[in-house]
A = this chain, B = another copy of it.
Amino acid sequence: MNDVEVEVLAEPELDDPVLVEGLPGVGHVGTLVAEHLIEEGESELLRRIYSEHLPPQVTVSETGLAELVAVECHHVAIGDRDLLVVTGDQQAASGVGHYRIAEAVLDIAGEVGVGSVLALGGVPTGELVEEHAVLGAASSETLIETLEDVGVEFRENEPEGGIVGISGLLVGLGGQRGLTAACLMGETSGYLVDPKSAQALLGVLQTHLDFEVDLTELEERADEMEDVVARMQEIEDQNVPTEDDLRYIG
């Protein structure tokens, strides 16, 4: 295996596709949206990216099948909209690896004619969130204005430490390649898998890209998590939990 190896599974013609990335991160917000799009749209797996920069690991399916960790690129058609949805079980295991995987994703984006990139993720607030704002960062002023019109908030110096990992690099390196690129981040506590933040993010995405998906399943998961959160808050009322307590619930 080379540094990065791309398995080509299908090569359909896409119509002005938008890259939507949702690899694992804070609150699994990006992953939840990406997986929901794949499930609700008309989907086809186009590429698998294998790399020694991903963790040295196989995942085990429900039936016991072992599969090498990979980043996957799916074609998802929803209404008239063509998406290239990028997801997977793991991000790269090192800083250099993040750069290499991001470049590989952008190469594939180039092959299928992607003109704009939306990297999805969560931004941790450190406390349980009622209203899930969607924060943004983008490669151009024009895109910032467009996104503000659909409800994305651009706050001074947020997120404070910048955006780390593949989401940041897809915007940074994508911008360098002349793509219109933005990172959209749903506010989330940072402690829990957060389907409600994913719902808020998907809402913005629908308006921005002008498509509609059935949100039922995501709403159900959000309801389940609300129950968990409610139980959490009961516990919190009794004795303030440490970060470690909460971490096991994610």
List A residues at the B interface (Cβ < 8 Å): 1, 50, 52-60, 62-69, 89, 92-96, 98-100, 102-103, 136-141, 144, 154-159, 161-166, 168-169, 171-173, 175-176, 181-183
Question: Complex formed: what's the CA distance from A216 to B155 in Å?
Answer: 29
* A53 contacts B96, C-beta separation under 8 Å: yes
Residue in B56, B139, B164, B183 whose beta carbon sits within 8 Å of that of A166 in the complex: B56
A52 touching B99, Cβ below 8 Å = yes
CB<8 Å pairs between A and B, sample of 18: A1-B99, A52-B100, A53-B96, A55-B95, A56-B102, A56-B169, A57-B161, A57-B168, A58-B162, A60-B162, A62-B156, A63-B144, A64-B137, A64-B154, A65-B139, A65-B140, A66-B139, A94-B95
Please give the distance in Å from A221's CB to the nearest CB on chain B: 17
Please give, as numbers and ranges, the residues of chain B lying within 8 Å of A96 by CB-CB distance. 52-53
Are A172 and B67 in contact, with the CB atoms below 8 A?
A: yes
Pair A60/B157 contact, Cβ less than 8 Å: yes
A183→B139 contact, CB < 8 A: no
Say yes or no: A60-B164 contact (C-beta < 8 A), given A68-B175, A175-B68.
no
**Closest B residue by C-beta to A60:** B137
Most chain B C-beta atoms within 10 Å of own C-beta, residue among A57, A93, A102, A155: A57
CB-based contact A56/B99 at 8 Å: yes
Provided the pairs A1-B103, A62-B157, A168-B58 are in contact, do residues A68 and B163 lie with their beta carbons within 8 angstroms?
Answer: no
Give A221 to B102 CA distance when docked, in angstroms: 39
Q: Judge whether B63 and A141 touch: CB under 8 Å.
A: yes
Contact A172 to B58, CB < 8 A, known contacts A154-B63, A183-B66: yes
Cα A182 to Cα B144 with chains together (Å): 44
Kindly list chain B residues whose C-beta atoms are within 8 Å of the C-beta of A65: 137-141, 144
Q: Is the CB of A173 within 8 A of B1?
A: yes
Q: Whole-angstrom distance between the alpha carbons of A94 and B54 in the complex?
A: 11
